[in-house]
A and B are shown apart, each in its own frame.
Chain A
Amino acid sequence: METFLFTLFGGLALASAFVVVTARNPVASALFLLVTLAALAALFVLLDAQFIAVLQVIVYIGAILVLFLFVIMLLNLGYAYRPDVRPLPWRLVAGGVGLALVIQLAIAVQPARSLREAAGTTGPEALVALQQAKGVVGAVAEPLFSDYLVPFELTSILLLVGIVGALLLAKRRLD
């Protein structure tokens, strides 16, 4: 059952990602991006990362994707758009680079199995046990607020900088 769901959502994510790239209308790309993100959220659930999956839906889809749609609407891109795919030479370059990347990553992934043996002791069960003990959210939250407190605080500063930057850049010049 699990593998079936995995291939379903995996295939869905790949297809929608492909459409995002090739869609002429930016709005269509945005929506298919939504589908991709949703499929990934499902996969996260399959991989025992329920909290991240939820986060994915709320933060990623809810915030970032909406922001995209909002910007598309603001710049009125959905209307009278011109095809903006690059000419053939660029496609060849992209294809070449993409293929090479895939091959490389595929090779890179092979030893994952040995990684699993190396990490054999923990296996997926350790993660499930941890979640049993501290709860799905606790398993992530507890180390977050203990070991990784400093990066956590830093992210707040990052977000603040992001907000100020966005405001300043997008603000209409009044002077």
Chain B
Amino acid sequence: MVALPEPAAAGAGWEPFLPGWIVLLPLLGFLVNGAAALLAPGRKAIPTWVGPGVIGLSFLIVLANLVSILGAGAAEPVVRSYWTWIAAGDFEVAAALQIDRLSIVMALVVTGVSFLIHVYSVGYMGADPGYARYFAYLNLFVFFMLVLVLAANFPVLFVGWEGVGLCSYLLIGFWFQEPAKAAAGLKAFIVNRIGDFGFLVGLFMLFAYTGSLNFQQVFAAAPQAFTYGSAAITITTLFLFLGCVGKSAQIPLYVWLPDAMHGPTPVSALIHAATMVTAGVYLVARASVLFALAPFTSGLVAGVGALTALFAASIALQQFDIKRVIAYSTISQLGYMFAGVGVGAYAAGIFHLFTHAFFKALLFLAAGAVIHGLHHAWARVGKHPTEDEVQDLRNMGGLRDALPWTSWTAWAGALALAGIFPFAGFFSKDEIIWSVGARGLTILWAVLLLTAALTAFYVARWAAMTFSGETRVPGDVRRHVHEAPTVMMVPLILLAAGSLVAGWLNVAPGLPFLPGVSRFHDFLAPVFEQAEAIWLAHAGEFEHVAPVGGDEGLWAIVTLALAGGVLYAVFLRVSARRLLPAARAPEPSGFARLLYRKWYVDELYDRFIVRPVLRASDVFWRVVDQGLIDGVFVNGSGAASRAAGWALSRLQTGDVSTYVVAVLVGVLILLAAALGG
């Protein structure tokens, strides 16, 4: 990969370290594993070492770049373009990567978390026949995610954008033998495609107005090309946001994420928690200048975010599948991030994304370890229950003593998610709640507070039903439940440590008794400088008082108390109650059933969108194509000419006299003409 001599980008002459290789390594991993999958599916050595190894190397390069950025203090982005991809008329776009603080942070999250998950997968997928193919897809996913995060222009970002959609399609439907799983993969891809439609139209508008699609040119030209709050920028950003909604599973395009749980658990951890779903937030952060120029859209982003947070949290309350609870929790937390970036607190949104990656991946992997243990136990006993039965919370309970390490790490993730003090969630989530409140949006602020309580509720219920209380696992099976192998435990522990430490990167100044630390915000400050200036000019400062009075510190304590109280109460109540295993447990009734049935959204979509579209297609085909065009015009004209031919042939009766009469009539006419004329 030869790097073209790059026009001297501004900045302290800081040179990124092998940027091309960050992206190239996972691609090589994909090719090697892909070849191994096709040629020698049996051998596990290559994927085991190549898979995680390639990602580890990439992580080290990103780390090196991070260190060199911190060292050189470079603020300006550096663009490396490798070859001109499309050049037509006055439109020109190169296959180019951009290294700046935001992309390095995102790359760090992507490569870091995925490295741990690759290691974890070695254990989790060890017995699976499609082992090599799994790692090939996972490496391809990391390649596309890095392309998305490191892109220097919108089309290359779109390559990553659709690429990750493709990989999630392949990975959700990884066990393609079961039709449900293949269908879930397809659903994910089509819903993502609806989002991509919005993204594309947004791109076209951007090009029509700014004449280029490179980040540097677009963001430089944006303030001149668009007037603040004008219809053009609002519509452009609305379409871009439609793309984000599709990719980051916000209302109304969130339906694919819960079904994505059909994929293997590490996939859910990587794609549907830490990396892919955050792409939407990354896009809004990257195009912060555009969203800053469109107040209406930013408001909508915050609104949709808050609404999704509440909506998803409500559903999570009544879910019994161990992975689906966390899936809805992810949607909810993404809602938080969108709320943050929607009100202009871009750094806070990214910080929550950063911490969320750790504890959400942790929760998924812990769930994976539990499922892994249970599978082996059931298998040892000789029974093979369906996947839903194994993953049903009502069939678990009291696994604390059987799986000590898993339960401790799971609880660490749960506390972080709930936003309890020492853990990361407390710092990042509260910051978002506070910045929404400081922006004066009282309703959204209240909704987010309520959701914080609901989050504490469902995560406590989740952890309690799994680990504490009286066990509902049949006696003989319980004996065989063992801890996951070390190759799976190490990532768990590291992530647990991460979710403990990550929060301290950025302690909000307003918090009492704590030293104000803003290393994360300062790191990202230059990236959002331009956007925040626009926010400053038009929307004014963040106030220092919550909509209903009280400063940041006060409300931090209130939230902490609220979350901690709810958590502890639910924990006690769930561990004490005698719950029935899934087979005999009654379906929840009343409002709880509405939540259990996920507000019947899937059924509504199916009835009002999927089925009519299919029926319309059928009508189009049968009635219009076959019937109208083919039947009436094409065959119809053929039949008409044949009928005309038949009618004319009736004239020839075969009786000579009729012909004589015809001749005479002719003679008469001629005579009349001759005499008349």
Contact with B along A59-98 (1 / 0, CB 8 A): 0000000000000000000000000001000100100010
In addition to A86-B657, A101-B668, A108-B671, 5 A-B residue pairs with Cβ atoms within 8 Å of each other are A90-B657, A97-B661, A104-B668, A105-B671, A107-B675
Q: Which residues of A contact B672 (CB under 8 A)?
A: 104
The answer to whether B657 touches A97, judged by C-beta atoms less than 8 angstroms apart, is: no
Which residues of chain B have C-beta atoms less than 8 A from A104's C-beta?
A: 668, 671-672, 675
Interface set, chain B 630-677, CB cutoff 8 A to A: 657, 661, 664-665, 667-668, 671-672, 675
With both beta carbons as reference points, the residue of chain A lying nearest to B674 in the complex is identified as: A108
Q: Which residues of A contact B665 (CB under 8 A)?
A: 97
Q: Contact residue range for chain B? A: under 10
B658 CB to nearest A CB, Å: 9
Contacts of A15 on B, CB cut-off 8 Å? none
Please measure, in the bound complex, the distance between the C-alpha atom of A86 and the C-alpha atom of B657, giving whole angstroms.
Answer: 10
A61 and B471 CA atoms in complex are apart in Å by: 132
Q: Is A55 an interface residue (CB 8 A)?
A: no
- Among A97, A100, A108, which residue has its beta carbon within 8 angstroms of that of B675? A108
User: Shortest beta-carbon distance, A80 to chain B, in Å?
Assistant: 24
Residues on A facing B (Cβ under 8 Å): 86, 90, 93, 97, 100-101, 104-105, 107-108
CB-defined A-B contacts under 8 Å, sample of 12: A90-B657, A93-B661, A97-B664, A97-B668, A100-B668, A101-B667, A101-B668, A104-B668, A104-B675, A105-B671, A107-B675, A108-B671
| A93-B658 Cα distance, complex, nearest whole Å | 10
Chain A residues within an 8 Å CB radius of B668: 97, 100-101, 104
Interface of chain B residues 199 through 245 with chain A (CB within 8 A):
none
Q: Give the complex CA separation of A31 and B293 in angstroms.
A: 118
In whole angstroms, what is the CA distance A136 to B668 when docked?
Answer: 38
User: Chain A nearest CB: distance from B667 CB in Å?
Assistant: 8
Q: What is the chain A residue whose CB lies nearest that of B660?
A: A97
Output the least CB separation between A98 and chain B (Å).
Answer: 9
A104: nearest residue on chain B (CB-CB)?
A: B671
Chain B residues within 8 Å of A105, by CB: 671
Give, as a whole number of angstroms, the nearest-CB distance from A103 to chain B.
Answer: 10
In the bound complex, CA of A129 to CA of B387 (Å): 131
Which 6 A-B residue pairs are closest in the complex by CB-CB distance?
Answer: A104-B671, A97-B664, A100-B668, A107-B675, A93-B661, A108-B675
Docked Cα-Cα span, A101 to B668, in Å, equals 7
User: What is the CA–CA distance of A104 and B667 in the complex, to the nearest angstrom?
Assistant: 10
Q: How far is the CA of A86 from the CA of B656 in the complex (A)?
A: 13
What separation, in Å, do the CA atoms of A97 and B668 have in the docked complex?
Answer: 8
Across-interface contacts of A93 in B (CB, < 8 A): 661
B608 CB, nearest partner CB in chain A, Å: 69
Shortest C-beta distance, A137 to chain B (Å), equals 35
Which residues of chain B are near A108, meaning CB under 8 Å? 671, 675
| Minimal beta-carbon separation of A102 from chain B (angstroms) | 11
What separation, in Å, do the CA atoms of A101 and B672 have in the docked complex?
10
Q: How far is the CB of A111 from chain B (nearest CB, A)?
A: 10
Question: In chain B, residues 347-386, which have Cβ atoms closer than 8 Å to a Cβ of chain A?
Answer: none
* Complex Cα–Cα for A107 and B676 (A): 10
A93 to B675, CA, bound (A): 23
CA distance A108 to B668 in the complex (A): 12
B358 to chain A, nearest CB (A): 104
**Please, how many angstroms separate the alpha-carbon atoms of A49 and B46 in the complex?**
125
Report Cα–Cα, A97/B657, bound state, in Å.
Answer: 13
- Min CB distance B671 to A, Å, is 5
A92 to B: closest C-beta gap in Å: 11
- Bound-state Cα–Cα, A108 to B676, Å: 10
Expressed in whole angstroms, the minimum distance between the Cβ of A1 and any Cβ of chain B is 35
Instruction: Tell me the bound Cα distance from A68 to B242 in angstroms.
Output: 102
Residues of B within 8 Å of A86, CB to CB, are 657
| A100–B661 CA distance with the chains assembled, in angstroms | 12
Q: Which residues of the other chain, A, contact B661 by a CB distance below 8 angstroms?
A: 93, 97
Complex-state Cα separation, A104 to B671, whole angstroms: 7
Residues of B within 8 A of A101 (CB): 664, 667-668
- B80 CB to nearest chain A CB (Å): 99
Min Cβ gap A99→B in Å is 11
How far is A150 from B610 in the complex, measured between Cα atoms in Å? 92
- For the complex, what is the distance from the CA of A108 to the CA of B671, rounded to whole Å? 9
The CA of A87 and the CA of B248, in the complex, are separated in Å by: 92
In the complex, how many angstroms separate the beta carbon of B326 from the nearest chain A beta carbon? 95
Give A86's nearest chain B residue, CB to CB.
B657
Shortest CB distance A91–B (Å): 12
Chain A contacts for B667, CB-based, 8 A: 101
Chain B: CB-nearest residue to A90: B657
A104 to B670, CA, bound (A): 11
CA–CA, A107 to B664, complex, Å?
Answer: 17
A55 to B11, CA, bound (A): 130
Instruction: Tell me the smallest distance from the CB of A68 to a CB of chain B, in Å.
Output: 19
Query: How distant is the Cα of A173 from the Cα of B667 in the complex, in angstroms?
Result: 39
Interface residues of B in 367-421 (CB under 8 A from A): none
B191 → chain A, closest Cβ, in Å? 78
Nearest CB of B to A84, in Å: 12
Q: Smallest CB–CB gap between A87 and chain B, Å?
A: 12
Shortest distance between the CB of B655 and any CB in chain A (Å): 10
Contacts of B657 in A (CB 8 A): 86, 90
Q: For residue A107, which residue of chain B has the nearest CB?
A: B675
Q: Closest chain B residue to A108 by CB distance?
A: B675
A155 to chain B, nearest CB (A): 25
Kindly report which residue of chain A lies nearest to residue B664, judged by CB atoms: A97
Nearest CB in chain A to that of B668: its residue: A100
**Distance A105 CA – B675 CA, assembled complex (angstroms):** 10
Q: How far is the CB of B659 from chain A (nearest CB, A)?
A: 13
Q: How far is the CB of A85 from chain B (nearest CB, A)?
A: 12
* Alpha-carbon distance between A97 and B671 when the two chains are bound, in angstroms: 13
How many angstroms from the CA of A104 to the CA of B668 in the assembled complex?
A: 8
Residues in A with CB closer than 8 Å to B675 are 104, 107-108
- Docked Cα-Cα span, A91 to B668, in Å, equals 18
User: What's the least CB distance linking B205 to chain A, in Å?
Assistant: 81
Q: Could you tell me the distance between the alpha carbons of A120 and B190 in the complex, rounded to whole angstroms? A: 104
The smallest C-beta distance from B663 to any residue of chain A, in angstroms, reads 10
